[in-house]
Amino acid sequence: MNDMRQMTALGRGIEDESFSIIDAEVGEHPYPADEWQVVRRVIHSTADFEFKSLVAFGNDAIRAGIAALRRGCPVLVDVKMIAVGLNEQRLAAYGCVVHGFISDADVIADARATNSTRAIESMRKAHRLGLLDGAIVAIGNAPTALLEVLRLEREEGARPALVVGVPVGFVSAAESKEALIASTLPYVAARGRKGGSTIAVAILHALLMLSVSGRHGAAS
């Protein structure tokens, strides 16, 4: 866990140069140092500088996310693309296990039976299994999954440690993220229609880097 980047010297140099370019092009920004590490990695993964004004943090999100990782929290994802993108070795060093249920046969059957969505039923299954409380929930694709997590928190007392809410799309994507921002849950969100699994992965990897880098709590 001492070297989270796991790159060759050439790879490190390319990444460092990329971050220097991002810093230079963005210039001054309102983010504290630890939040900027997250935003900068999102920009690095997308080459989209609009995220400098879209990424929002709330309710002590960085501290909550790092603390959850360090205690080996479950990581619950809405789609397999996030699970594939995550570095399992980095997570396993803390004892974190990634869970995703959207393709499970019972989830598909429940969604068909109730005219729901697989994303909704996957979050309900996670709650039934006791995986939501204390978890980091990463949603990059399905606004209905994010809305269901918020309902489970509001109506059934589920309490994730952190919600990374960055679903992409046109139907309820922006609205679901605004609902997250209005909640009492610790969150990292990307306002508006933009988002996606790549961004969820970038945010989680940035939190992993912060968890071992000593940057958390540094001045902006």
Structure tokens at 198: 């790549």
Residue among 22, 143, 125 nearest 74 (CA): 125
Give the span between the Cα atoms of 187 and 184, in whole angstroms: 9
Give the span between the Cα atoms of 157 and 152, in whole angstroms: 6
Active site includes 44?
A: yes
Catalytic residue among 44, 99, 205, 216: 44
Give me Rg for the CA atoms of the chain. Answer: 17
Residue 26 gets which letter from DSSP? H
Structure tokens at 53: 């004004």
Structure tokens at 46: 């997308």
The angle subtended at Cα 217 by Cα 89 and Cα 20, nearest 5°, is: 70
Residues with a catalytic annotation lie at 44
